[in-house]
């Protein structure tokens, strides 16, 4: 696919703004933990566009999280495959909603992060140290990760690295819709955090950062240029594709 065609595919759906999405179910080696179990979720399916806000960590703000949080902490063996499932609204699965799990025009990458936390049910999420375990962007055929997620009924998967220490973590799944990213604020960020407990594992200390908040402005789309849109880079045991998304203006603000 030529760069002009890729850019056109993003622009084609730039007027669609209402077909949002929520991460609402986690599977461990194919077994569901239950709908909304162990996930900090909002009632509203809107995006975060103000990337200078702490709401970019686990959602909130314009999409108030349901409280009190579910107290479930999902056990996940190190090395397990987790699957995160998204739907347009909390009740849209299986209804024939054309925008379920998300509008097909909300093209962009899908990512997964982890952060070690003393208690996965604690309220505060600021100041945590995050590392990325999965990223999926534009493949060699010109197909976006969101398209693959859409065609798979809202599901995407990642592997929990075998080397990380056991204990409580927050697992942050994220979709970045780029159809409006020609100006700021235009990129739409969708994210929720699941509460997990990693069992087994090792003693590795992956490189971490305080959550980085990039201002995303897609200025050029080029299949030939591989750019990681968000720091940090993926932990080597975690993933899949790098993002071939072209040149982007990124300003990262430590939170």
Task: Determine the 3-state secondary structure of 188 from DSSP.
Answer: strand
48 neighbors 87 (Cβ within 8 angstroms): no
At 13, the pLDDT band (50, 70, 90 cuts) reads: very low
Residue 237 lies in domain: 3-254
Q: What is the DSSP string of 78-146?
A: TT-EEEEEEESSTT-TTTT-TTSSS-TT----EEEEEEE-S-TT-S--TT-EEEEEEEE-B-TTS-BHH
- In tens, the pLDDT along 127-138 reads 999 999 999 999
CA triplet 102, 222, 9: central angle to 5 degrees?
Answer: 35
Strands 155-159 and 81-87: antiparallel
Q: Residue 227: phi, psi to the nearest 5?
A: -130, 130
Host H or E run for residue 10:
helix 3-12
Q: Looking at residues 42-50, what average pLDDT do you find?
A: 94
At 103, the pLDDT band (50, 70, 90 cuts) reads: very high
Q: What is the CATH number of the domain that holds 101?
A: 2.70.50.70
32 vs 7 pLDDT, higher one = 32
pLDDT at 233: 60
Q: How many domains does the chain have?
A: 1
- In tens, the pLDDT along 65-80 reads 999 999 999 999 999 9
Q: Worst-scoring range by mean pLDDT, 14-18, 39-43, 162-166?
A: 14-18
Q: Cβ-count burial of 217 within 10 angstroms (0-12 exposed, 13-18 middle, 19+ buried)?
A: middle
pLDDT at 194 > cutoff 90: yes
Question: What is the average pLDDT score of the chain?
Answer: 82
DSSP state of 18: S
pLDDT at 211: 58
């Amino acid at each position: 696919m030529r760069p002009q065609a890729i850019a056109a595919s993003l622009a084609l759906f730039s007027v669609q703004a209402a077909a949002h999405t929520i991460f609402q179910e986690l599977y461990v080696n194919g077994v569901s933990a239950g709908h909304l179990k162990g996930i900090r979720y909002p009632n509203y399916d809107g995006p975060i566009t103000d990337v200078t806000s702490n709401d970019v960590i686990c959602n909130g703000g314009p999409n108030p999280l349901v409280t009190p949080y579910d107290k479930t902490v999902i056990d996940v063996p190190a090395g397990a495959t987790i699957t995160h499932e998204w739907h347009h609204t909390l009740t849209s699965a299986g209804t024939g909603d054309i925008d379920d799990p998300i509008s097909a025009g909300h093209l962009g990458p899908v990512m997964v992060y982890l952060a070690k936390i003393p208690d996965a049910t604690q309220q505060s999420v600021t100041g945590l140290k995050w590392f990325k375990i999965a990223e999926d962007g534009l493949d060699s055929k010109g197909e976006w990760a969101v398209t693959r997620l859409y065609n798979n009924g809202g599901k995407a998967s990642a592997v929990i690295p075998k080397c990380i220490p056991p204990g409580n973590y927050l697992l942050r799944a994220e979709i970045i819709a780029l159809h409006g990213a020609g100006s700021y604020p235009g990129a739409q960020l969708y994210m929720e955090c699941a509460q997990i407990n990693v069992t087994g594992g090792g003693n590795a200390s992956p490189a971490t950062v305080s959550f980085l908040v990039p201002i995303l402005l897609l200025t050029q789309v080029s299949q030939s240029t591989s750019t990681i849109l968000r720091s940090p880079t993926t932990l080597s045991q975690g993933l899949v594709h790098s993002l071939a998304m072209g040149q982007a203006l990124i300003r990262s603000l430590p939170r």
